[in-house]
Structure 1
Amino acid sequence: MTEWRVLLTRPAEESQALAASLAQAGIFSSSLPLLEIEALPVTAEQQAVFQALHRYCAVIVVSKPAARLSLRQLAQPSPHLPWFSVGAATAQILADHGLNVHYPLTGDDSEALLQLPALREAIAHPGARVLILRGEGGRELLAQRLREQGASVEYLELYRRFLPAYRPGALMQRIQLERLNGLVVSSGQGFLHLQALAGPDWPQVAQLPLFVPSPRVHEMARAAGAEKVVDCRGASAAALLVALGSFAL
């Protein structure tokens, strides 16, 4: 696996942690963050929601930024309120704060979360209300499926994501300068930003092995012309290492 030289595209702090895990396995990585997080202003609406979490039978946190920003506003947590997250890393942030958190052991996406027995149990009564904490925009699948099961779903958006400013050609220049032979994205939006930053160089970039966290992002990348897409079945360092080890250069 030491032949790999991969580009990490997560926010800077997350890329740093992932790079450390890869380095321990002898894998070179370079970081070019394609997602920057900006917290939205705290509003009276946000404060009111956090002060009345007892109204909900489940709180779903879709990302690490949503978890961190939620904890800034969270008062004394209720030990009886179940919290849910899409992935283990987000769950750990919440659990470290003493919250009762459930998450799927396999898969880091909405589809895996929807199969979780604890979530089904939480909404299995009339009038069930679910709160989803997330950034601006995002997928509607989770809310749609929960509503189909009879739950009332509300969103609270805590941040926005944007592509940092890079000069034209920065992506291809980094790939060539550091002789990178693999790309890693951690979300659908991360992939869209990768493609946007590539611009006219996308046909060349699309030839490199691309490691993605889920079947959904795999489909996105293939539809956009990426030639060698590997579904890591998760966004963790462990999942990426397994995928790197199973793909022959």
Structure 2
Amino acid sequence: MTIVVVRPEPDCSQLVDQLAQHKLAALPCPLVSFAPGRDLPSLPALLSSLPAGSVLVAVSPRAVAFTHQALQQQGLAWPRHCHYVAVGQRTANEWQQVANQPVQYPAREDSEGMLSLAPFNVIKGKQVVILRGESGRDMMGQTLQSQGGQVHYCEAYLRQWAIEPLVSQVVSWPQDTITTVVVTSGQQLAHFDQLITLSGQHWLRQCRILVPSKRIQDQATALGFDTITTVDSVANDALVNTLLRLRKTGLSDD
């Protein structure tokens, strides 16, 4: 059982190392790196102008880190009169450390989970700032707008994809031992599927794939993956626990 890990660094190598500690072989496949987003220069002014009761949403630790760096460069602090909502526990923990504000997060780490939290119970007329990459959480923003919320998408970071340089690496992967692929976002799944096509390694679609949400499960099904496990988390610990369970049960969800 060899596992392909498709997620950005440093989480990719960290997950590979964690799996090795449990005697699970894994191959790193980081498809994307990151740079500061185009909205960062104007973002501090937006945050400082928000009225009390506004909601800040962070889609990843990366969104928090890039935004915090922009605030520090202008000598500004995170606003104290807003609600803070993170997509998951790791993002919440890292946000609390830099913002010194309480951060809520859902048990189910996706847009639907965040929308179930108290700050979104009555959203009409409220300002909502979604800290993200150059895309993502469109469904969440559309839902909030339909309920009367004023939504600001803020590009805190840019994704830089590297597909073609990995083609030769993928061609050399051992087809007889790779059984599982871990993918932590819809965009990474789309680019991994492109990598499969470019490398001609179509057998990878026959592997079990681990994804973090029902939405990405549906995307994987549409791309031709038919053995899919949904983890409801992108945290490395949750992914490791799921893979250990699958190993114990012989790669069966039964």
Does the TM-score normalized on the shorter chain lie above 0.5? yes
Which segments of 5 or more consecutive residues in structure 1 lack a partner in the other structure?
Answer: none
Change (3 A) 1:172 1:126: closer
**Identity between Structure 1 and Structure 2 (%):** 27
Q: Deviations over 1:199-236 (max 9, x none)?
A: 15253110111111111111100111012111112111
Partner residue in 2 for 1:99: 101
Change (3 A) 1:96 1:6: same
Distance 1:43 1:236 in 2: 26
Contact 2:5-2:26 within 8 A present in 1 as well: yes
How far 1:76 moved relative to its partner? 2.3
Which segments of 5 or more consecutive residues in structure 2 lack a partner in the other structure?
Answer: none
Q: Deviations over 1:171-226 (max 9, x none)?
A: 53243289432111100001011001111525311011111111111110011101
Given residue 68 of structure 2, which amino acid in structure 1 is its aligned partner?
Answer: L
1:37 aligned residue (26, 34, 52): 34
How far 1:100 moved relative to its partner? 1.9
Q: Deviations over 1:74-131 (max 9, x none)?
A: 32233432111111121121011112211102x2211111112x2224xx26521111
Contact 1:55-1:129 within 8 A present in 2 as well: no
Contact 1:195-1:202 within 8 A present in 2 as well: no
Partner residue in 1 for 2:13: 16
3-state DSSP class of the match of 1:84?
Answer: strand
Q: Deviations over 1:151-187 (max 9, x none)?
A: 1111111222132143473353243289432111100
Distance 2:136 2:229 in 1: 23
Distance 1:229 1:140 in 2: 24
2:132 aligned residue (131, 134, 139): 134
1:59 equivalenced with 2:56 (yes/no): yes
Contact 1:12-1:31 within 8 A present in 2 as well: no
3-state DSSP class of the match of 2:67?
Answer: helix
Partner residue in 2 for 1:172: 170
Contact 1:58-1:83 within 8 A present in 2 as well: yes
Say how many residue pairs are matched: 242
